[in-house]
């Protein structure tokens, strides 16, 4: 079947996110970009679900939990940034770092039953067994997320979209709690004039959606190639 990508448009509803000096809101940009990304991913043979497709507020934990409930292969959360200094600009990719403390996540997860898709592997598992299983599962998802970040970074670089790119480990809830590889994309700084001009451009948002979809397609090819061999 077609691998499922859960596309998360950041913020929404009463949560406007970052706001540009002229009033442009992050929640508007993220939804538009998420819709463009959905179209590009569908063209590349993925199936896509959105955490939101309208201007509504979705709690953070619900966003990540949906990835596990729906058996998503990948979770990508789309955002735009803001900073106190208008000089700061650029495109950033965040992934959950295994160096960050994931023990809290593992122990919390061990109190839950395993996902329905995996439950048959367990016969009334102890918390210790479940904790070990979650630890392995999340470590694998985090390792694969870093590989996806590398593929996305190369794709954005090849598209000559921006010369300022950064990869950053982070402890964001949506990345920590997603059961599949998860990445958060900060598409630029609304507080920087150059980035704001780009993000306002429908053409730029289309090119960015294409570059992100290409990067995910490359990552999937590599993963599937390694799984087949």
Question: Digits of tens for pLDDT over the chain (229 positions)?
Answer: 899 999 999 999 999 999 999 899 999 999 999 999 999 999 999 999 999 999 999 998 899 888 878 889 999 999 999 999 999 999 999 998 766 555 565 566 556 665 655 655 666 667 787 777 777 888 888 899 999 999 999 999 998 777 788 998 888 888 887 889 999 999 999 999 999 999 999 999 999 999 999 999 999 999 999 876 5
Tokens of 18: 């970052």
SS3 state at 13: coil
By the 8 A CB rule, do 149 and 216 touch?
A: no
The pLDDT assigned to 120 comes to: 57
Amino acid 163: pLDDT: 74
| Burial class of residue 82 (count of CB atoms within 10 Å of its CB; 0-12, 13-18, 19+) | middle
Structure token digits, residue 12: 């929404």
This prediction's pTM? 0.87
Q: Are 51 and 35 in contact (CB under 8 A)?
A: no
């Amino acid at each position: 079947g077609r691998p499922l990508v859960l596309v998360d448009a950041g913020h929404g509803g009463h949560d406007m996110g970052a706001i540009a000096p002229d009033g442009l809101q992050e929640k508007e940009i993220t939804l538009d970009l998420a819709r463009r990304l959905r179209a590009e991913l569908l063209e590349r043979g993925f199936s896509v679900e959105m955490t939101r497709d309208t201007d509504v507020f979705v709690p953070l934990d619900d966003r990540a939990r949906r990835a596990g409930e729906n058996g998503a292969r990948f979770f990508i959360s789309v955002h735009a940034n803001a900073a106190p200094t208008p000089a700061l600009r650029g495109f950033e990719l965040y992934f959950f770092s295994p160096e960050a403390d994931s023990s809290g996540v593992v122990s919390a997860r061990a109190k839950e039953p395993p996902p329905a898709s995996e439950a048959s592997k367990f016969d009334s598992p102890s918390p210790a067994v479940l904790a070990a299983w979650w630890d392995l599962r999340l470590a694998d998802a985090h390792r694969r997320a870093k590989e996806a970040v590398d593929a996305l970074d190369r794709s954005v670089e090849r598209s000559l979209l921006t010369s300022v790119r950064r990869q950053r480990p982070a402890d964001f809830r949506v990345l920590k709690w997603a059961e599949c590889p998860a990445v958060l994309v900060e598409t630029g700084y609304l507080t920087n004039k150059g980035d704001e001009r780009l993000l306002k451009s429908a053409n730029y948002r289309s090119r960015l959606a294409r570059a992100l979809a290409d990067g995910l397609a490359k990552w999937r090819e590599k993963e599937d190639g390694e799984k087949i061999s």
